[in-house]
Amino acid sequence: MIYPHQPPVGYQEIANTLRADIHNGKFRPGRRLPSEGALSQTYGVATKTARAALKQLRDEGLAELVRGYGVVVREAVEPQLIVAEPGSQVWARNPTPEERRVLGIPEGVPLLIVRGTDGLDEAYPAHRYRIEAPSPE
């Protein structure tokens, strides 16, 4: 809600509030987050601003869009550790729609790419893996 003498609310502030509500358990995994319309009314912002806040949470991997239902809190997943061999290159990129479908990657989750010293690339969904690079000796 907008009050006199207070700065306007932007999508980051809404995302921060929802993120805190997720972390403190107000919104548990599988629970639907408020709709764009509800957020617009609550915070007195445009629907576009509310949409951006929900997209921010999806991009962070905290929530996912369930078609026909809304944006829901994702189940927390403990990422599996992958240790890259010395000399490997590691970077992130967005998956293609086909990679997203085949690997079961939620919207907003990037791929971690590891190019080994043999020149071959391996792709890992960032919500399920973390990459550790050994320190060079």
0.75 exceeded by pTM: no
Condensed to tens digits (0 to 9), the pLDDT of residues 61-81 reads: 789 888 899 999 988 778 899
Q: pLDDT at position 14, please?
A: 95
Q: pLDDT at position 19, please?
A: 94
> What is d(CA 63, CA 27) in angstroms, rounded to the nearest whole number?
10
The answer to whether 42 touches 1, Cβ cutoff 8 Å, is yes
Domains of the chain: 11-73 (1.10.10.10), 80-132 (no CATH)
Mean pLDDT of 15-21: 95
Q: What does each C-alpha distance from 53 to 28, 40, 90, 94, 119 come to in angstroms? A: 18, 11, 29, 20, 39
Give the model's confidence band at 28: pLDDT under 50 very low, under 70 low, under 90 confident, else very high.
Answer: very high
Mean pLDDT of 39-62: 92
